[in-house]
Amino acid sequence: MSAGERDSMGRKLALVLRHAPEKFNLEMDINGWIDVRDIIRQFQNSDKRRHHWLRPHHLRAISETDPKGRYEVRGNMMRATYGHTVEIELDLPTSDIPDSLYYPCDPEEAGNLLEVGIKPAGRAHVHLSANMRTAAEAGRVHRA
């Protein structure tokens, strides 16, 4: 898979697994999982010429090599790990949570956030980071 194919497929996966599975006639379960074989079938049905080569190991490779850990694969099932605009239950861990987590904001925003709290801003959940560096990177991406 070329870098361009990987990038294009990553964007398409984000659309399906985070925002609009119905655009490809896919349904996710309550925890956001969709069968990889169904994803491939629907991608190929939508554009056979561009996706004839797509196999489950390609989606697994995208998941395993994504530097931000956007996707998770278990068996034949795949889901996005964060960034959803659709309502799902992520069955997130409740143990080993760090004492401090970080959220990116400008100094001007800090007072307001302390007063009213952090809101998901169009997403289903708030994404917190384990360190300031990754929080700052997340802030740069969302402000770009």
pLDDT of residue 84: 84
Q: In the predicted model, is pLDDT for residue 105 greater than 70?
A: yes
Which pLDDT band holds residue 36 (cuts at 50, 70, 90)? very high
pLDDT per residue as tens digits for the range 67-78:
888 999 999 999
Q: In the predicted model, is pLDDT for residue 143 greater than 80?
A: no
Domains of the chain: 3-80 (1.10.10.970), 107-143 (no CATH)
Q: Are strands 34-35 and 71-74 parallel, antiparallel or unpaired?
A: unpaired
Helix axes 36-46, 56-65, angle to 10 degrees: 110
pTM of the model: 0.68
